[in-house]
């Protein structure tokens, strides 16, 4: 850089309480006016260069809190000046200071990430510019903290998912042994005393319950982290698969499965089958000695396609409408209705991953109607 454009206020190797600002401005008079302005601002220190190439060299070799940028420079003009600099200094807030009074350009600059767009000779520099710098630096600091917190949260969630997955797999091996050996004891009627047989049955039941919980935990983890494979699929076909998977429960309960005319949908087939399997499975379970009647429903409300699973079961009180979708939330003891309390939480996560919503309409002893929509339907 030549002698004319080598003006430099104070070296920016300062304490954290000071703001180090780089001014990129080709007009010497404008630059000197700004330098004089900041003489009275003890916490703001300026370095000046007159060309974009020199500004880029600066940000590549030194850390700055803020950049003041003129768009029209000897080696670059217009918004491309901002683009080139922002590519090299994307983590540094940039305030544009220009003589080009162009509202469309100002809007575009802010959209691209500029903190502000100030027109020369149109504002009180002694008041507005120091204030704009401090506010922009503060916003950028908050943004960086939020990004860091978000990354840390993602990492913690990843670690938690990995922990649940590994723990679940590690627990399944000894559980399978417990179930297998207790089953052998129960079947050995000739040598077992009744009391030992009862204890063996208790072990067998407890291990089975734990195995169900582990499998549901794995399913819940899978639902949260698995990449969606979106296709156009027949919802009837998804129902057919879910019914096939539940054929034993349907046969034992003598249930009737009915359905409206169902559409094609956009979604992840595997997850939608899991959603239907859980909802139909609950409909078969919570019936209180009646023959289950389950209907797959479809309706259009305010141009939104609403799908659902309706049953004639025991129903749900309104105060539990939201709670039933929480993980491990159960309304009945295991002695009355078997389950882990994870099934509806999985349903909610599947629907949310399809940008949709799930809810229930129900009254005690009058059955339940679980309804949901998938925003991916219209993609």
Residue the block writes with tokens 């940028």: 69
Strands (E), the chain: 19-24, 44-49, 66-69, 94-98, 116-119, 230-234, 256-259, 264-268, 293-301, 304-310, 357-362, 368-373
Residue 3: DSSP 8-state = G
Nearest partner of 342 among 221, 201, 165, 186, judged by Cα: 221
Please measure the distance between the N-terminal and C-terminal CA atoms of the chain and give it in whole angstroms.
55
Check whether 358 has a pLDDT greater than 80: yes
Q: What residues form DSSP beta bridges with 50?
A: none
> 36-45, 83-92, 124-133, 340-349: lowest mean pLDDT where?
124-133
| pLDDT tens, residue by residue, 298-321 | 999 988 999 999 999 999 999 989
User: Is there a contact between 285 and 311 (Cβ–Cβ < 8 Å)?
Assistant: no
Instruction: List Cα–Cα distances, 105 to 82, 118, 234, 364, in angstroms.
Output: 11, 12, 48, 61
Average of pLDDT values for 337-356? Answer: 84
User: Is there a contact between 235 and 266 (Cβ–Cβ < 8 Å)?
Assistant: no
Higher pLDDT, 124 or 313: 313
Residue the block writes with tokens 């249930």: 255
Q: How far apart are CA 37 and CA 305, in angstroms?
A: 62
User: Is there a contact between 200 and 181 (Cβ–Cβ < 8 Å)?
Assistant: no
Q: Which CATH number fits domain 227-379: 3.30.565.10, 3.40.309.10, 3.30.70.20, 3.40.50.300?
A: 3.30.565.10
Instruction: List Cα–Cα distances, 112 to 100, 117, 227, in angstroms.
Output: 17, 12, 30
| Sign of the dihedral through C-alpha 263, 291, 246, 279 | positive
Average of pLDDT values for 229-237? Answer: 94
Q: Where is 215: in which H helix or E strand?
A: helix 194-225
| pLDDT tens, residue by residue, 133-181 | 777 777 767 777 777 888 878 777 776 766 666 666 666 666 777 777 7
Question: What pLDDT is recorded for position 14?
Answer: 39
> What does residue 57 show for φ and ψ, rounded to 5 degrees?
-60, -40
**CATH assignment, 3-123:** 3.40.50.2300
The Cβ of residue 321 has, within 10 Å, a number of other Cβ atoms equal to 14
Nearest partner of 73 among 97, 46, 40, 37, judged by Cα: 97
Q: What global pTM score does this model have? A: 0.52
Question: What pLDDT is recorded for position 348?
Answer: 93
User: What does the mean pLDDT of the chain come to?
Assistant: 81
Q: What residues form DSSP beta bridges with 116?
A: 95
Q: How far apart are CA 38 and CA 273, in angstroms?
A: 65
């Amino acid at each position: 850089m030549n002698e004319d454009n080598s003006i430099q206020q104070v070296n920016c190797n300062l304490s954290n309480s000071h703001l180090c600002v780089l001014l990129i401005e080709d007009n010497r008079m404008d630059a000197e006016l700004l330098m004089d302005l900041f003489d009275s601002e003890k916490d703001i220190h300026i370095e000046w260069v007159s060309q974009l190439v020199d500004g880029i060299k600066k940000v590549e070799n030194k850390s700055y809190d803020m950049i003041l940028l003129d768009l029209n420079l000897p080696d670059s003009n217009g918004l491309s000046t901002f683009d080139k600099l922002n590519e090299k200094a994307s983590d540094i807030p940039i305030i544009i200071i220009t003589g080009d009074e162009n509202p469309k350009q100002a809007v575009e600059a802010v959209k691209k990430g500029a903190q502000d767009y100030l027109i020369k000779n149109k504002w009180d520099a002694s008041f507005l510019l120091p204030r704009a710098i401090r506010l922009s630096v503060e916003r950028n600091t908050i943004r960086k903290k939020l990004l860091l917190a978000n990354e840390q949260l993602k990492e913690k969630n990843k670690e938690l998912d990995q922990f649940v997955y590994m723990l679940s797999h590690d627990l399944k091996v000894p559980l399978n042994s417990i179930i297998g050996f207790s089953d052998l004891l129960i079947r050995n009627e000739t040598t077992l005393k009744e009391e030992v047989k009862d204890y063996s049955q208790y072990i067998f039941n407890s291990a089975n319950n734990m195995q169900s919980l582990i499998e549901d935990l794995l399913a819940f983890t899978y639902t949260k982290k698995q990449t969606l494979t979106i296709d156009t699929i027949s919802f009837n076909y998804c129902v057919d698969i879910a019914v096939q998977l539940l054929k034993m429960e349907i046969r034992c309960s003598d249930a009737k499965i009915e359905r409206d005319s169902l559409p094609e949908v956009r979604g992840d087939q595997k997850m939608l089958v899991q959603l239907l399997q859980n909802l139909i499975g609950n409909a078969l379970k919570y019936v209180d000695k009646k023959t289950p009647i389950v209907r797959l429903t479809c309706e259009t409300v305010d141009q939104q396609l609403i799908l659902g699973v309706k049953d004639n079961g025991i129903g749900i009180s309104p105060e539990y409408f939201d709670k039933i979708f929480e993980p491990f939330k159960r309304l009945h003891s295991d002695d009355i209705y078997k389950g882990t309390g994870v099934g509806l939480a999985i349903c909610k996560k599947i629907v949310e991953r399809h940008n949709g919503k799930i809810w229930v309409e129900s009254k005690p002893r009058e059955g339940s109607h679980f309804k949901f929509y998938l925003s991916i339907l219209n993609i």
